[in-house]
C-alpha cells in the first residue's frame, strides 16, 4: 500500500517555490527537523551553519503562522509532520573550454515544502513535562549562580527553585540572615542595662549631695 501523495498529506503547509539551490542541499537540512516539535526544529535550524537552514527557518515560521491564523491551532502544540524538497527549473548555461568545446553549467532550483500538524495527546503530555522540568532546572541554575556572585536574587528566579534531593521548594529568603533583626533576649538585656545605668547615676547624685552637706 502506497503512502499519501505529496499534495494530499494532512496538516498546514508553507511552500517556497523556485529557490536557487539544489534539492539535495535542502534535503540535508530538512532531514534534521522532520518529526521534531516546532520549538526544537527552530533551535536546530538556528544552530545549523548551512545556507539552506536560514531559508527553511523562514518556511517553517510561515507554516506555523498559517496554522495559527488560518486553522486556529496553538503554536506550542505543533510538530513538523513532513518536510521535503522537489526539483525545480534547471537553467542551462555553458562555459568555453579548450579546442572550441563548451562545458555544461546547470543552475538548479528547488521547491521547499514544510507541513506542520498537531501533536497527539500522549506525546504532547510528555513534551509539557519535559519543558516544565527544563524551565525549573534553568531557574535553579540562575539562582545558584546569583548566590555564588553575591548578587540579590530576583523574586521571579527563586519562586520555583526546587531541591532535587528532598523534592521540596526552597525559599532563599529564609536562608538569608539579616543583621538588623534583634532577638527578644537582646532587647530585654538592653532595657535592663538602661535601668542599671539609671540607678547608678541616682546613687552617685545622692552621695555627692551628702558629701556637700557634711563639708
- pLDDT band for 212, please (50, 70, 90 cuts): low
- Give 128-157 pLDDT, tens digit per residue: 888 788 788 887 887 777 777 776 655 555
- Give 172-199 pLDDT, tens digit per residue: 444 444 445 444 444 445 545 555 555 5
Three-class secondary structure of residue 49 per DSSP: coil
How many beta carbons lie within 10 A of that of residue 25, not counting itself?
A: 14
- Give 61-106 pLDDT, tens digit per residue: 999 999 999 998 999 889 999 999 999 999 999 999 999 999 999 9
In this predicted structure, what is the pLDDT of residue 182? Answer: 45
What is the Cα Rg of the chain in Å? Answer: 37
Query: Is residue 88 within 8 Å of residue 111, measured between CB atoms?
Result: yes
pTM score of the predicted model: 0.62
Phi, psi (degrees; rounded to nearest 5) at 110: -150, 160
Spell out the domain ranges in the chain.
10-93+104-119, 131-175
- Tell me the CB-side half-sphere exposure of residue 59, using CA atoms within 13 A: 27
Degrees (nearest 5) of the Cα angle 147, 150, 155? 55
- Give 47-70 pLDDT, tens digit per residue: 999 999 999 999 999 999 999 999
How many beta carbons lie within 10 A of that of residue 182, not counting itself?
A: 10
Determine the Cα–Cα distance for residues 47 and 43; give it in Å rounded to an integer: 6
In this predicted structure, what is the pLDDT of residue 200? Answer: 55
Determine the Cα–Cα distance for residues 182 and 164; give it in Å rounded to an integer: 33
Question: Averaging pLDDT over each range in 5-9, 150-154, 200-204, which range is the top one?
Answer: 5-9
C-alpha distances in angstroms, 40 versus 60, 82, 137, 145, 155? 12, 15, 18, 26, 29
- C-alpha cell at position 148: 555564588
Determine the Cα–Cα distance for residues 11 and 117; give it in Å rounded to an integer: 5
Greater model confidence, 103 or 201: 103
DSSP one-letter code for 167: T
Question: Cell 500500500 sits at which residue?
Answer: 1
- Looking only at the bridges linking them, the beta strands covering 102-107 and 168-169 are unpaired
In this predicted structure, what is the pLDDT of residue 211? Answer: 52
How many beta carbons lie within 10 A of that of residue 86, not counting itself?
A: 15
Q: What is the CATH number of domain 10-93+104-119?
A: 3.90.470.10
In this predicted structure, what is the pLDDT of residue 202? Answer: 55
In this predicted structure, what is the pLDDT of residue 132? Answer: 80
Amino acid at each position: 500500500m502506497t503512502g499519501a501523495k505529496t499534495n494530499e498529506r494532512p496538516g498546514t503547509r508553507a511552500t517556497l517555490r523556485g529557490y536557487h539551490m539544489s534539492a539535495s542541499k535542502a534535503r540535508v537540512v530538512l532531514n534534521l527537523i522532520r518529526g521534531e516539535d516546532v520549538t526544537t526544529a527552530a533551535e536546530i535550524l538556528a544552530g545549523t551553519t548551512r545556507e539552506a537552514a536560514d531559508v527553511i527557518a523562514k518556511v517553517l515560521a510561515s507554516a506555523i503562522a498559517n496554522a495559527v491564523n488560518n486553522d486556529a491551532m496553538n503554536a506550542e502544540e505543533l510538530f513538523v509532520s513532513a518536510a521535503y524538497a522537489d526539483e525545480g527549473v534547471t537553467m542551462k548555461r555553458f562555459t568555453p573550454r579548450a579546442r572550441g568545446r563548451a562545458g555544461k553549467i546547470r543552475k538548479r532550483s528547488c521547491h521547499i515544502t514544510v507541513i506542520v500538524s498537531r501533536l497527539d495527546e500522549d506525546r504532547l503530555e510528555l513534551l509539557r513535562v519535559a519543558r516544565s522540568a527544563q524551565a525549573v532546572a534553568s531557574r535553579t541554575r540562575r539562582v545558584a549562580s546569583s548566590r555564588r556572585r553575591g548578587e540579590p536574587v530576583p523574586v521571579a528566579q527563586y519562586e520555583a527553585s526546587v531541591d532535587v534531593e528532598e523534592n521540596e521548594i526552597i525559599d532563599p529568603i529564609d536562608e538569608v540572615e539579616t543583621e538588623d533583626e534583634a532577638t527578644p533576649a537582646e532587647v530585654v538585656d538592653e532595657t535592663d542595662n538602661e535601668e542599671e545605668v539609671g540607678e547608678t547615676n541616682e546613687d552617685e547624685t545622692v552621695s555627692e549631695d551628702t558629701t556637700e552637706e557634711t563639708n
